[in-house]
Amino acid sequence: MTARILVVDDVPANVKLLEARLLAEYFDILTAADGFKALEICESTHVDLILLDIMMPGISGFEVCERLKADPRFAHIPIVMVTALDQPADRVRGLKAGADDFLTKPVNDLQLISRVKSLVRLKTLSDELRIRAETAQNIGIEDMLKGMDGRDEPRQVLLVDGRANSQERIIKALKPVANVMAMSDPQAALFEAAENSFDLVIVNANFDDYDPLRLCSQLRSLERTRFLPLLLVTEQGEEEIIVRALDLGVNDYIVRPIDPNELVARSITQIKRKRYNDRLRVNVRQTIELAVTDGLTGLNNRRYLDSHLRTLFNRAEARGRALSVCITDIDRFKQVNDAYGHDAGDDVLREFAARVRATVRGADLACRYGGEEFVVVMPDTDAVAAGVIAERLRGLIENQPFVIRSSGIAVNITASIGIACNAAGAETPEQLLKQADKALYEAKNSGRNRVVSAAA
């Protein structure tokens, strides 16, 4: 794992020490002697993580952190405060400023390296999601996604704690900011986390006969809980457990005795990050859906057809099953546009797609092929059955006029349809489509408003 790390400290000896430790792990290191220089570096070059001193001349680490986290360009960069301040109030202030963690001087080597690697892994994931999500902004769905990140929804926390008195203290601390479900059985908690929606799981390492890292590992292994933030509660001085936990993918830790304010701050930080990444995942998923969906009709587009038809064709061939393709074209569609305008033409296309969707079965694939052409792929359907379905669609188009929404005018529409089945000798999906297209051409040339099947 490699990353570019910015070390910010006004004491040269501290900078050299951290630089030497990180270079030994093959990280790329940048350094700054004050907060202003750190901000300049972030403006001018890519940074993956910042190790930030608090007490510096000119501008404190707290203010540097607040400025970076307030800027959308840098808000995703993890910041670790490295400081001699070890009071809970200082940690809470740093976390509220946006810091992801604290390391107290003198820095423990194991905690430094494990914390850096853990945060770099999280940033790599977040960066990948952000890059993919940029496509959504470019094609204009960002407004559609606003409000889908759940920032206004109540926070849900699952607490796994073996002792009732400890559960009570943590629930009391988090009550103002989250709904907490407490469980003392780790395996039951694993099932609960997988079956329900939580923003954070807190695992208290106070079990007498159970290794809490086992639960953390299982949560990271399950698909449903892989990205669920984990916060470990452990004893002071248990560096080995903390390092192993971070290597397993635990997001953060807090040591006993727990400061309620720090617990709240760390929990909110993890929940905010989860909801941000959840929003990015929704964004990416929506982008993928839009990439294979026709924006006007809501049917799948030609890109999806080209990919999925091959899958269906190969499956039918391997199983020795029938597969039929139907291509339908709106007759004299240009006359609709010329007479009533392109908005009216769009109304007709939308309604035509709705009738196609109403005619096909659940297993069939309906796509807008382009312009006024639509394709329906029918698995496990021979030419005779495909002809029945196509004739039903043709009648549905002809027998009910299309109403133009803007004017209320009813327009009579007909469609020509060509059908081809893999039994006719097509060796590839492209040949199958070509056969159906030839049948469509014949339907058009022989008078329109009819169904023609490709010859076997």
Residues facing 443 on adjacent strands: none
Token pair in block for residue 429: 């999906």
CB 138 within 8 A of CB 290: no
CB 216 within 8 A of CB 230: yes
CA distances from 107 to 18, 42, 337 (A): 9, 24, 72
The Cα 435–Cα 145 span in angstroms is 42
* Residue 372 designated active-site: yes
Q: Give the count of alpha carbons within 13 A of 339, CB side only.
A: 12
Q: Is 240 helix (H, G, I), strand (E, B) or coil?
A: helix
Write phi, then psi, for 104 (nearest 5 degrees). -95, 135
Which one of the listed residues 372, 398, 427, 430 is annotated catalytic? Answer: 372
CA distances from 248 to 48, 115, 226, 234 (A): 21, 12, 11, 15
Task: Give Dmax over CA atoms of the chain in angstroms.
Answer: 89
The Cα 336–Cα 343 span in angstroms is 10
Helix axes 429-445, 302-319, angle to 10 degrees: 110
What do you get for the CA distance between the two ends of the chain, in Å? Answer: 59
Other beta carbons within 10 angstroms of residue 313's beta carbon come to: 23
Catalytically active residues are: 372
